[in-house]
Amino acid sequence: MMPSITTLDRPSLPLAPTACIRLGVLASGRGTNLQALLDAASARRIPAEIVAVASNRHGALALDRARRAGVPASVFQRTEFPARAAQEQAVVDFLRQHGVELVVLAGYVPVLGATLLDSFHHRVVNIHPSLLPAFGKTLHAQADALRHGVKITGCTVHFVTSQVDGGPIILQRAVPVLEGDTEESLSARILEQEHQALPEAIGLIAAGRVVIDGDRTRILPAE
């Protein structure tokens, strides 16, 4: 088990390198980023194993992807629990049951509360379809980018904190906004970069190269 990172108010030690980091993935929809992680792990491009997948939606295609890959998958729908904290505790119990070391949000819609964030302190990673801090705190970042006429957007992998889309950034990939782009065409090009950026970020974390330093991260050089 990797050591905890307990503070963001001073430079933190990197996560200890691991031969194979155990990932728990939360997804609400199609699960294409989950598939990217499954493919990268299967091809041994990253030292990771997806050991559990959870969703807040029955029928999410991500669940089918997990089950086809032989990964335990379960649904924790909000309406089936008396409170959000109870729902999150059930997710936490599921992840711990499978020995999860790092939680990855791959198109997971609910905003995480203290129950899950405290249980996996600085062990939750998200991918967002914009160059944060631009167009954060929204499910329509691509449409917002088009509406504001930006010429470059992209995706961001970051640690999750109680500040929505405000946690330390691990890496970003830029995507040009083309004349004639629609929300669908721009989203598709950003998604292609997400499929590369998320496994890359997981690989950096597993290698012990990501250092949380205040509100930012530093990426250590490869040995």
CATH code of the domain containing 134: 3.40.50.170
Residues 132 and 220 in one domain: yes
* Distance separating alpha carbons of residues 5 and 64, to the nearest angstrom: 33
Final residue in a domain of this structure, among 121, 144, 176:
121
Among positive and negative, which fits the CA dihedral 127, 161, 90, 109? negative
Residues 168 and 139 in one domain: yes
Residues 143 and 207 in one domain: yes
**Per-residue pLDDT, 15:** 60
**Per-residue pLDDT, 223:** 79
Give how many domains the chain has, as a whole number: 2
Alpha helix (H) residue ranges in 1-75: 32-42, 61-68
Q: Which of 98, 9, 5, 88 is nearest to 49 (CA)?
A: 98
Structural domain range at position 35: 19-121
**Per-residue pLDDT, 3:** 36
Residues 136 and 99 in one domain: no
Final residue in a domain of this structure, among 98, 121, 144:
121
Residues 132 and 117 in one domain: no
Question: Is position 72 within any domain?
Answer: yes
* Distance separating alpha carbons of residues 72 and 80, to the nearest angstrom: 20
- Classify residue 163 by burial, with Cβ atoms within 10 Å: 0-12, 13-18, 19+: exposed
Residues 116 and 159 in one domain: no
Q: List active site positions.
A: 128
Residues 217 and 133 in one domain: yes
Question: Is position 189 within any domain?
Answer: yes
**Per-residue pLDDT, 32:** 98
Final residue in a domain of this structure, among 92, 121, 150:
121
**Per-residue pLDDT, 7:** 34
* Distance separating alpha carbons of residues 25 and 100, to the nearest angstrom: 9
Residues 30 and 106 in one domain: yes
User: Residue 78 corresponds to which tokens in the numbers above?
Assistant: 């909000």
Pairing of strands 48-55, 73-75: parallel
pTM of the predicted model as reported, rounded to 2 decimal places: 0.91
Question: Is position 7 within any domain?
Answer: no
* Distance separating alpha carbons of residues 43 and 58, to the nearest angstrom: 29
**Residue 1 DSSP class:** -
Strand, coil or helix: 194: helix
Q: Give the phi and the psi of residue 189 in degrees, each rounded to 5.
A: -70, -35
Element (H, E) at 21: strand 21-26
* Distance separating alpha carbons of residues 144 and 9, to the nearest angstrom: 33
How many CB atoms lie under 10 A from the CB of residue 200?
17
Count helices and strands in the chain by DSSP H and E runs: 6, 9
Mean pLDDT in order along the chain per 10 residues (223 residues): 37 61 97 98 96 97 97 96 96 98 97 96 97 96 98 98 96 97 98 98 95 94 87
Angle at CA of residue 96, ends 44 and 115, nearest 5°: 120
**Residue 145 DSSP class:** H
